Amino acid sequence: GAGVSQSPSNKVTEKGKDVELRCDPISGHTALYWYRQSLGQGLEFLIYFQGNSAPDKSGLPSDRFSAERTGGSVSTLTIQRTQQEDSAVYLCASSVDGYNSPLHFGNGTRLTVT
């Protein structure tokens, strides 16, 4: 079946604007994750969903970042009042059950804040 789909693939925004990033996980996957990948750095965990609940949002860097998941499927990551340091690739992943099953990643959204 289809893999994890993320949109947009690229987003350029002005500092101070809000942005929404979308993730469509693999159908039937109950667990969904957001990671951030900055230039020269590894992957930084942001938030984990099990169904529509987020039992672990410990990686969200500030209260400007929020995420939701609806219908146990699509997730949206929202960044308010974007800053230049928010520029990064935002990766979404899903897994069957969130218990050590492999993560399947989307191709990411490259966010550039000017």
Partner 1 sequence: AQSVTQPDIHITVSEGASLELRCNYSYGATPYLFWYVQSPGQGLQLLLKYFSGDTLVQGIKGFEAEFKRSQSSFNLRKPSVHWSDAAEYFCAVGAGYGNKLVFGAGTILRVKS
**Contacting residues toward partner 1, per CB under 8 A:** 4, 31, 33, 35, 41-43, 45, 48, 50, 55-56, 91, 93, 95, 98-108
Strands 109-113 vs 10-13: parallel, antiparallel or unpaired: parallel
Pick between residue 8 and residue 16 the one whose CB is nearest to partner 1.
8
Pick between residue 50 and residue 87 the one whose CB is nearest to partner 1.
50
d(CA 60, CA 57): 6
Q: Which residues of 12-43 are buried (b: 16+ CB within 10 A; e: fewer)?
A: ebeeeeebebebbbbeebbbbbbbbeeeeeee
- Quote the least distance from Cβ 43 to partner 1, whole Å: 4
- Quote the least distance from Cβ 80 to partner 1, whole Å: 24
Tokens of 47: 């938030």
- Quote the least distance from Cβ 45 to partner 1, whole Å: 6
